[in-house]
Amino acid sequence: MPVGKFDKLQLIGTNELLVEGPFETHGDVIGDVTVKILIIRDGQNSDPKFAIATVTPEPPDPTKPGLFTGRFSAIVEAPGFFRRDDEVRAIGISVALKTTPPTAPDPPDPPAFETFTWCVGRKVTV
């Protein structure tokens, strides 16, 4: 099962929010993993703010065969929308195209999309 997290929601000036986090999934990934990010103020019916990130793969860990790991980073543009210590809800959805590993039985399954959604409460930092 994939794992996605948000470990940084940091204001850059008054107009941008830097959003970063780790991502991992099992299996063979074809191409890029895309993460769409949605940020809303927690407990308020505010306009959602969006960004799209691409996971930057990390070198494979020989002690964890078949594990794809990486990090994503995006800038959410929202002039004057976020303030320090705002409680926000960060929602991510990842899309990865995966293939059957070379050790799979014959005939292998065709490539398929894998999606994963996660949602966490976080505090905006500076």
pLDDT tens digits along 87-119? 999 999 999 999 876 676 777 778 899 999 999
The b/e string for 26-59 (b: 16+ C-beta within 10 A; e otherwise) is: bebbeeebebebebebeeeeeeebebebebeeee
**43 pLDDT exceeds 80?**
no
- Predicted structure pTM score: 0.87
Spatial distance between the Cα atoms of 95 and 88, rounded to a whole number of angstroms? 23
The b/e string for 93-102 (b: 16+ C-beta within 10 A; e otherwise) is: ebebebeeee
Spatial distance between the Cα atoms of 72 and 81, rounded to a whole number of angstroms? 22
Class of domain 3-123: mainly beta
